Chain A
Amino acid sequence: MPDISSYNAIAVGNIASINGQDISSGGGAYNPVTDSGTYTETVPTSGLLKMGGVRCFDPPTNTSTDNSENIPKFAYGSQPVVNLSSDKDGRYVRVAESKSDFVQISYGRYGGFGITASGQLWEQGSSASYISGSVVSGFTQVTGVGDSDTGWTKISSSSGGALAINSGKLYHIGQNTYGNAGTGDQTASYGSFSQVGSDSDWVDVERGGFHSMAVKGTNKVLYTTGRNANYRTGLGTASGNTTSWTQVDDTNFTNTNVSYIHINSDGCLFIRENGEAYGFGDDDTNERFGTNTSSDIQIPTQLGKVGGSYQTDWVTGAMASNTTYLINTSGKLYFAGEGNARRGDGSSTDAKDGEYVQIGSYTDWVRVTTDDSGQNNQDYNHVGQRGNRLYYWGSNQYSGILNNTLTSYTTAVDIMGQDLDTGNLWALFPNQGSPTKMMLVARY
């Protein structure tokens, strides 16, 4: 048998180190030929993107009561670095490649994207139609698009494509079925990014499954485009599709200084710099907007009444199919709408009297969501960040993010029992577009 401890002048241990693996040296070291000895794998302990979710299959064929497919799998193929030790505790989490420099991450149905601190855009995806390069399992940098390869400031990926901002200019990739790219038509841009118009003052953008919203100009004006059904574009009509970016109806507010936007499948939520919160879109008996009505909200309408008065200290929030969540400057979390398994404080009491109700008494809420991709019409799963930790509540059987049980959790549970890595990077999104098969990606 040949001695392969050193081959072509390169030690085996050094070859392993190149792949992030260390092989212990000396007596008893792992012998790859005889498959004997001790094998030690060392992976980085921080700065890793971890993905979780039981029903992470391609295609997702299981049902909500089928727990036999609880095998972890990356949504977009195998990853170069895998830490199976994370699975030992029953949490279905695997470690993806290290992306310690990402400051944004956004996953849609077919494409996932990240932006680095230096303004680079990286992508991975399962379909070449929805990313600019070839199908890849790991992240690959997007180059040659826009004014600068380091000019990317925002990416928002959803079910049919993505919208992104480079040097203030807006780009889209993928479907445009409902005019959700705002190009003036409904023409898709498969396989490459196309610029939308020629303006260079785009500030923020969120793409949903059917419509999109954006903030533009030094005055930070709110625009929408896409499918009007259920008044989800805030233009006062539910007919047809808006195919060009259009300023929302400003009857109830001053359309400037919009500081935060959030989109879901049939509605929009936004907050102004003065702390006022507004929403519009589909509503029914769940009274998700907390406006004491079960009718659709046709144009932007103020939200966030507490104790009989509209509060003006909101900083962030989320809209789900049955609820709206708002977080104020004091780090307190409030909600309106259906309470069952959606509050996270153990209570199932609804909030349908026009008032927002505080969830628990914590004062360290940072962010909450039921879907960051804007494509979901369900809200079975909730993830919120308190301090530097992520908490889960909801119908765990539809994600398995917490564990491999079919249990519903009405009280928020610390998902990993450890702090997020610096930068608090995480996103919750539907696997392969299915609203009942959620995945969480977070950097620890």
Chain B
Amino acid sequence: MALYSVLISGQEELDSPWQDANVPNMSFGYREIDISECTENEDGTYIATYESMQVESPKTYKYLDPVEGAKEFQLGVGEYGLKPNSQRRG
């Protein structure tokens, strides 16, 4: 699990989760809940942070797709849930 930062415009963007097609049973979001928790830049943008999903050994997930029912997928070793234009911080 690594920490990333992203420039966002405000609360609406902070509230918006994103998907990783490799992980269909999950969504990803920022650590901060309220925009006041984010660092504000001089240009009015904010810095929000999130943690990626780190898989250290291959893993199988069994989940219930609300439409198609029971499904299964595997994740190989790697990092998932990354958002474009984010910068790794640690």
Residues of A bordering B, CB below 8 Å: 179, 182-186, 196-199, 223, 228, 235-247, 249
A-B contact pairs, 5 of them (CB 8 A): A184-B67, A198-B69, A238-B51, A240-B17, A244-B25
- Neighbouring A residues of B84 by C-beta, 8 Å: none
B52: nearest residue on chain A (CB-CB)?
A239
Across the A-B interface, the 9 shortest Cβ-Cβ residue pairs = A240-B28, A246-B63, A239-B53, A184-B66, A244-B25, A247-B62, A245-B64, A197-B66, A244-B63
In Å, the complex CA distance between A355 and B10 comes to 48
Q: Given A223-B64, A244-B66, are A236 and B52 also a contact pair (CB < 8 Å)?
A: no
Number of B residues near A (Cβ < 8 Å) is 26
Q: Is B77 an interface residue (CB 8 A)?
A: no
- Neighbouring B residues of A228 by C-beta, 8 Å: 26
Residues of B bordering A, CB below 8 Å: 1, 17, 23-29, 50-55, 59, 61-67, 69, 80-81
Residue pair A237, B65 in contact (C-beta under 8 Å)? no
**Interface SS, A side:** loop
CB distance from B85 to the nearest CB of A (A): 18
Q: Given A186-B17, A236-B59, are A244 and B1 also a contact pair (CB < 8 Å)?
A: no
B62's partner among A186, A241, A243, A246 (CB-CB below 8 A) is: A246
In Å, the complex CA distance between A247 and B69 comes to 13
Q: Given A237-B53, A243-B25, A244-B25, are A196 and B1 also a contact pair (CB < 8 Å)?
A: no
Residue pair B61, A186 in contact (C-beta under 8 Å)? no
Residue pair A182, B64 in contact (C-beta under 8 Å)? yes
CB distance from A424 to the nearest CB of B (A): 33
Residue pair A237, B1 in contact (C-beta under 8 Å)? yes
In Å, the complex CA distance between A218 and B65 comes to 19
- Neighbouring B residues of A237 by C-beta, 8 Å: 1, 53-55
A186's partner among B25, B27, B51 (CB-CB below 8 A) is: B27
Residue pair A196, B62 in contact (C-beta under 8 Å)? no
- Neighbouring B residues of A185 by C-beta, 8 Å: 27
A199's partner among B23, B50, B64 (CB-CB below 8 A) is: B64
In Å, the complex CA distance between A246 and B17 comes to 19
- Neighbouring B residues of A235 by C-beta, 8 Å: 61
Q: Given A235-B61, A246-B61, are A240 and B26 also a contact pair (CB < 8 Å)?
A: yes
CB distance from B51 to the nearest CB of A (A): 5
B63: nearest residue on chain A (CB-CB)?
A246
CB distance from A248 to the nearest CB of B (A): 10
Residue pair A244, B17 in contact (C-beta under 8 Å)? no
- Neighbouring A residues of B28 by C-beta, 8 Å: 239-241
Residue pair B69, A199 in contact (C-beta under 8 Å)? yes
- Neighbouring B residues of A243 by C-beta, 8 Å: 25-27
Q: Given A186-B17, A198-B69, A199-B69, are A240 and B27 also a contact pair (CB < 8 Å)?
A: yes
Residue pair B25, A197 in contact (C-beta under 8 Å)? no
CB distance from B8 to the nearest CB of A (A): 17
- Neighbouring A residues of B55 by C-beta, 8 Å: 237
In Å, the complex CA distance between A27 and B26 comes to 74
- Neighbouring B residues of A246 by C-beta, 8 Å: 25, 61-64
Indicate the member of B26, B27, B29, B61 with the most A CB atoms within 10 Å. Answer: B26
